[in-house]
Amino acid sequence: MTDTAFDTAPAVDPTAMKVSDEVAIEISNMNKWYGTFHVLRDINLTVNRGERIVVAGPSGSGKSTMIRCINRLEEHQAGKIVVDGTELTSDLKNIDKVRSEVGMCFQHFNLFPHLTILENCTLAPIWVRKTPKKEAIETAMYFLEKVKIPDQANKYPGQLSGGQQQRVAIARSLCMKPRIMLFDEPTSALDPEMIKEVLDTMIELAQEGMTMICVTHEMGFARQVANRVIFMDQGQIVEQNEPEEFFNNPRSERTKLFLSQILGH
């Protein structure tokens, strides 16, 4: 993995992005098993509003599973997850409430191929938020302009490049006006040329104060945008620190090994 995509990126001033004291997500003693396999072990994490957190780690370390637990795409078996004051239990009402407040972007975009870009963006506001159609279209166009693809609104996802599709996916989430955004390896399925356009969109989002948790291998992004980097291995949080400290002065042996492998070429 390289951070070349960031060589030309504008410098971001992390102090410009404020973190409030209000708690957005609180995960305490969360455990999860797949069958008998213990994927997440005793996860404790508190995220304040406005924080930009990057989760890194080798594959299979449980980082995707962890953020997928936050909007209950995966179910945790023990411990507690509270998102925006709502605890995630098997209560469907709470789950739908949390999901409509938490946006998520996936590695494979998961756009709906049978709907146009605009329909992809207006679907949830119309059906979940009961927004009038006209207003939903206006909101969708606003966010499509923000991710710089308003001219593609009437095309189908299959006609767009990967980078454009991921930006549509971000716009689709934003149309629900979420208070928290989760990114699950948003650039892993993209060509190097397209990674930058997606990361630029994410940086802009961060600068506007969005609470973000981002699973990614883009260490350049982590350095510039994150206020906290979390390193996971074998289903546990091994180390967390501010980006500068994390990259320049990793404490655990496992983190040192990981960093030397992904940055060492």
* List of residues contacting another protein (CB under 8 A): 71, 73, 92, 96-97, 99-100, 102-104, 106, 108-114, 123-124, 127-128, 156-159, 172-173, 176
Shortest distance, position 120 Cβ to another protein, whole Å: 9
3-state percent breakdown (helix, strand, coil) of the chain, nearest 5: 40, 25, 35
Give which of 158, 159, 153, 154 is closest to 171, Cα–Cα. Answer: 153
Cβ proximity to another protein: between 81 and 238 the closer is 81
- Compute φ and ψ for 21, nearest 5 degrees: -85, -15
Shortest distance, position 77 Cβ to another protein, whole Å: 16
Cβ proximity to another protein: between 85 and 113 the closer is 113
Bridge partners, residue 6, by sequence: none
Cβ proximity to another protein: between 117 and 237 the closer is 117
Shortest distance, position 136 Cβ to another protein, whole Å: 13
Residues in Cβ contact with 134 at an 8 Å cutoff, skipping those fewer than 6 apart: none
Cβ proximity to another protein: between 75 and 244 the closer is 75
Strands 211-215 and 228-233: unpaired
Cβ proximity to another protein: between 38 and 129 the closer is 129
- Give the chain's radius of gyration (CA, Å): 18
Shortest distance, position 103 Cβ to another protein, whole Å: 8
Residues in Cβ contact with 101 at an 8 Å cutoff, skipping those fewer than 6 apart: 83, 84, 176, 178, 179, 180
- Helix (H) or strand (E) segment spanning residue 213: strand 211-215
Give which of 54, 15, 86, 26 is closest to 212, Cα–Cα. Answer: 54
Shortest distance, position 98 Cβ to another protein, whole Å: 8
CA separation for the pair 26, 155 (Å, rounded) = 39
Cβ proximity to another protein: between 52 and 99 the closer is 99
Shortest distance, position 112 Cβ to another protein, whole Å: 6
